[in-house]
Structures are given as structure tokens and as C-alpha cells.
Amino acid sequence: MNQNMNQLNELIEITRDGQHFYQHALDEVKDVDLQHLFRDMAQAKTHIIQALSVKVAANQQQPAKGGTTAGKLREMYADTKAQLGDTDAVYIDQLDQTEERILAAFEDVLKTADPDVKALLAIELPKIRACHERIHTLNHSGRSNRD
């Protein structure tokens, strides 16, 4: 598998971490507005994963099917921390950190990618930035109480 397809598969895995985490958090929070937000964010991640997977498959490679260990550990950490405090605030904060990780990964790949991969990332990166901005703004708006 070439370098660009490896990088896209890593982005798929990291984005899937976010997708799974939003879906998980959706079941944990009671606030209906947060549930709607988390559902929207999970759906946005699904669309990005699909776009990246199509590119990998078009290069006769197998798109990544899972997430990362780091993503699963963050989810477990959030679950544990939520038992000790404000559940909504914990999930918002941890999802903000997940978005930071996803955005950084996309920006790193963009620096070294071939032109055709850069073109795909140029389409997907604004979506990543919008998701990041939504949760980051919520996290720092006073809605959640950071520890």
C-alpha cells in the first residue's frame, strides 16, 4: 500500500474514533440539544469516512474498517470521568480534544500528500474545521464547566 493510502486509512481510523465517540456520547448525555448535536457530528464523520474510503478503494486498496486504540481509551476515560462529575461537560471536553486530534491529523497529511489526495482533503478539511469549531465553541462558551 502506498504512503498516501496509508495516510488516508489512518485518517479514516481517527475520524471513525470521533464518529464512534459521538455515537457513544449521544447515549450518555440527557440534554436533547446535545443529543441532536452529537448525532449531527457523528453523521458528518460518517460522510467524511465514506469520501476517504472511496478514494482508498479507487486505488485498489482496502479502506480501514476500525478505529484506534487511542480513540477507545479516550472514550473509556470520558466514561470514568463522567461518573465523577458533570457528564455533559466531560463529554463535550473530551469530544473537543478528539476534534483537535482529527484536525491535526488532517492538517499533517495535507502537508505531504500527493496532489490528488490534497484535492480530496481540500474538500473534506472545511468539514473537519467546522465540526472542530462547533464543539470547541461549545466547550469554551460556559455551557460546560471545565475541571
Contact between 146 and 89 (Cβ < 8 Å): yes
**Is residue 27 included in any domain, yes or no?**
yes
Counting residues of the chain whose pLDDT is more than 70, the rounded percentage is 95
**Is residue 67 included in any domain, yes or no?**
yes
Q: pTM for the complete prediction?
A: 0.90
pLDDT of residue 147: 39
Helix 32-58 and helix 115-139: axis angle, to 10°? 170
**Helix locations, 30-114, DSSP H:** 32-58, 69-84, 87-112
**Is residue 24 included in any domain, yes or no?**
yes
Q: Which domain holds residue 35?
A: 3-139
Neighbours of 111 (CB within 10 A): 7
Residue-wise pLDDT tens digits, 57-90: 999 999 999 888 888 888 888 988 888 888 899 9
Mean pLDDT, the chain, integer: 91
The span from the CA of 100 to the CA of 122, in Å, is 18
pLDDT of residue 145: 44
When divided into structural domains, the chain yields a total of 1
**pLDDT higher than 70, residue 125:** yes
**Is residue 109 included in any domain, yes or no?**
yes
**Is residue 28 included in any domain, yes or no?**
yes
Contact between 13 and 67 (Cβ < 8 Å): yes
**Is residue 116 included in any domain, yes or no?**
yes
CATH number for the domain including 32? 1.20.1260.10
pLDDT of residue 146: 39
Between 54 and 84, where is the model more confident? 54
Residue-wise pLDDT tens digits, 81-115: 888 888 899 999 999 999 999 999 999 999 999 99
**Is residue 144 included in any domain, yes or no?**
no
